Structure 1
């Protein structure tokens, strides 16, 4: 058996179990059966059960953030185990990744080093990330980055926008960089979905409701605008459901929003978190349109889950939007983030929903081929083991 260790610098809570950092080693094992997977992460009160590997106890007891003590603890763990680890999987292109990667390669030169980036070129600027806005150290930073890239065996990036951005930064990236979109867990979705459910005139979003990043206000204002006008949303009796935990203090905003926009009553709903997978995926199955209003995202797994379950997508221009919608064929990308533009996109989606839904079903096999983990993971497997 080959030891594969994923070293995470954040606590692995139950909500993270469908994210790439867990899915990648699990699906790699489908193709490389000799992998012995261990996922190592700091301990917190909400840790997921160690189904997929061992937890690494954080001596500080911290539950939030990334502390110096956590860094030291993970560093010590790596010192003690580097020679036993044949494949090291690190997350993000950050200072701790450079530290752990260097130590690992010093102690185990034959080991394979894989970096999974989580990089939003619209949010981050390489000049800021790599300190290139400081002229004095510009050359040194670039030399170090190129040196570190050469130490790796594979680096993955989840969007073509990010891929092109990084390749333009350094030709060294092109030698090791692989475009691999974050996928959906087809096995789990199929386990919980129901074949008898019919589509209804429903719009959904799934997010941390009220967080700054997710920009829920944009969707709320768009629905209010549609309710105040002679729209198809009203004429065809559509409804919108916001699914997910409601941020502290945002319930007051919702209450005031209902008071100011009474026409949204009975049209706009907030469900809170839905932990039951069968219930959650039934919402995806019954809806026709999925909206994402984020100010920034490196990817947005909810979009590919919604697409797989037959939803037309309306999304802000996050880094992955063009990839997921196939350059706008399977959804609308709203570049101007005002509610008039977003409401117009929703109205257009409603007017043409039969045509859009038909296109999605015709391309369903291509969606699976591109975005299911079972298929997407082959890009990493071929780079590391072929």
Structure 2
């Protein structure tokens, strides 16, 4: 079978995109031997992208024209549209609509995959703005495949378009097929930009402190800490000095295998975010055998808990709800094989390989 010429057009992208869906989908399709994949960004050099780890992916850095991603994308398509079988774009704004219209004008047989990456807030924008809703409908209509990351968001976006919406979740980078057997500690873990409003680190720390007398677990927090969170943290330790030794801040961990080792030490991953779209740390935690506690503002609850088989949901920004969930997890009689079962679920549903296999089937159905 002839390889698909697949191009991800994302002018505003930087080096970090290569390890998110923007980079992992074209890379995985190429690694599977199914595509000649190209990625277009403006804010990452080849050295920053570290392409030695992604040799199958062809990357081109382009200059952003007048700070305008719409113009940058249009210029690229003027000279490359006929060389692309599948154009992959993100988020569904006006720029995507203009790109798709030009692409299909120059290449009538070309196909388009639009990946939306929507949160509940994004859906509310479409619900509240007829203008934005109309441009979304136009963009979806001229696309061949439109996907969101969760069943809950699919249900909401179905109100805005007659186009069939697929679910294509985000995945984890697959360093190893199986996780090594480890003796897990009595530990909760969270990973992210700590102390930012959306991550609700304050809620997590308060809930842990209030639950601490009911168990002997520790809490590990991985990631950078917002500067303006330090004052809150000092006050927190003044109020709960007795648990300071049970709370571990590691700082950011950039080396993936080192981060995965931290996941594997813990039993439960906690993400009490006030808002999210599809947190990439979720599939990582599952891949490494962690159970999940997630707030109800995170749309992919079903996808990240195996329909609640591997975790539970708490009310966002609710200390009492999270406190009770933490205590319940410490009281569970967890079977030794559960971590392996969770990792198997992640491998079958949330590895980039399994995700791209399903996407490829959808793409072949459109040809």
Counterpart position of 1:333? 313
Quick one: structure 1 residues 280 and 89, their matched pair in 2 at CA, closer, same or farther if it must change by over 3 Å? same
Residues 1:129 and 2:126 are matched in the alignment: yes
- What is the TM-score with the length of structure 2 in the denominator? 0.88
What is the alpha-carbon distance in structure 1 between the residues aligned to residue 312 and residue 167 of structure 2? 23
Structure 1 gap segments, 5+ residues each:
61-66
Query: In the alignment, what sits opposite 1:169?
Result: 160
Counterpart-to-counterpart distance in 2, 1:59 and 1:169: 32
Deviation at 1:119, TM superposition (A): 0.8
SS in 1 for 2:273: coil
**Counterparts of 2:333 and 2:19 in 1: how far apart (Å)?**
29
Question: Aligned partners of 1:314, 1:338: CA distance in 2, in Å?
Answer: 13
**Contact conserved, 2:97 with 2:139, CA < 8 A, in 1?**
yes
1:346 aligns with 2:326: yes
Consecutive unaligned residues of structure 2, counting only runs of 5 or more, are: none
Query: 2-side partners of 1:10 and 1:254: how far apart?
Result: 34
Describe how 1:209-224 pairs up with structure 2 within 5 A: 209-224=194-209
Matched positions, count: 356
Distance 1:116 1:81 in 2: 21
Tell me if the contact between 2:69 and 2:95 (Cα under 8 Å) persists in the aligned partners: no
The one of 164, 167, 176 equivalent to 1:179 is: 167
Which string of whole-angstrom CA distances, capped at 9 and with x for unpartnered residues, describes residues 65-96 of structure 1?
A: xx4x3332232222222222222110112121
Query: Which whole-Å CA distance do the structure 2 matches of 1:110 and 1:279 have between them?
Result: 45
Matched-pair contact (CA < 8 Å) for 1:219–1:293: yes
Q: Matched residue of 1:173: which SS?
A: coil
Partner of 1:57: 63
The offset of 1:253, in angstroms, is: 2.9
Instruction: Name the structure 2 match of 1:18.
Output: 19
2:11–2:64 Cα contact (<8 Å) kept: no
- The one-character-per-residue Cα deviations of 1:169-201 (angstroms, maximum 9, x if unpaired) are 33x222xx2212111222x2559x6x2532111
Alignment partners' CA distance in 1, 2:24 and 2:304: 19
Q: Is the 8 A contact 2:171 2:280 kept in 1?
A: yes
CA distance in 1, matches of 2:280, 2:351: 11
User: Does the CA contact (< 8 Å) of 1:330 and 1:360 recur in 2?
Assistant: no
Partner of 1:168, secondary structure, is coil
Paired residues for 1:130-209 under 5 Å: 133-134=129-130, 142=134, 145-170=136-161, 172-174=162-164, 177-186=165-174, 188-190=175-177, 195=180, 197-209=182-194
Q: For the residues of structure 2 that align with 1:218 and 1:59, how far apart are their CA atoms?
A: 43
Q: How does 1:86-125 map to 2 (within 5 A)?
A: 86-120=85-119, 122-125=120-123
Aligned mates of 1:158, 1:22 — CA distance in 2:
16
**Pairwise CA RMSD of aligned residues?**
2.5
Which of residues 231, 250, 254 is equivalent to 2:214?
Answer: 231
- Contact conserved, 1:159 with 1:323, CA < 8 A, in 2? yes
Q: Does the Cα contact within 8 Å between 1:223 and 1:264 map onto a contact in 2? A: no
Distance in 2 between the 1:293 and 1:9 partners? 32
Aligned mates of 1:179, 1:10 — CA distance in 2: 24
Deviation at 1:275, TM superposition (A): 1.5
| Shift in Å, 1:103 | 1.4
The corresponding residue for 1:64 is none
Greater Cα offset, 247-256 or 373-382: 247-256
CA distance change for structure 1 residues 5 and 58 in 2, over 3 Å: closer, same or farther? same
CA offset at residue 256 of structure 1? Answer: 3.1
Tell me, yes or no, if the aligned pair for 2:117 and 2:277 is still in contact at 8 Å. Answer: yes
8 A Cα contact 2:152 2:299, kept in partner = yes
User: Does the CA-based 8 Å contact 1:200-1:287 persist in structure 2?
Assistant: yes
Q: Secondary structure at the match of 2:8?
A: strand
Q: Which residue, out of 211, 230, 245, partners 1:266?
A: 245
Bigger drift between 69-78 and 149-158 goes to 69-78
Give the C-alpha shift of residue 50 in structure 1.
4.8
* In structure 1, distance between residues paired with 2:44 and 2:343: 39
What's the TM-score once normalised by structure 1's chain length?
A: 0.84
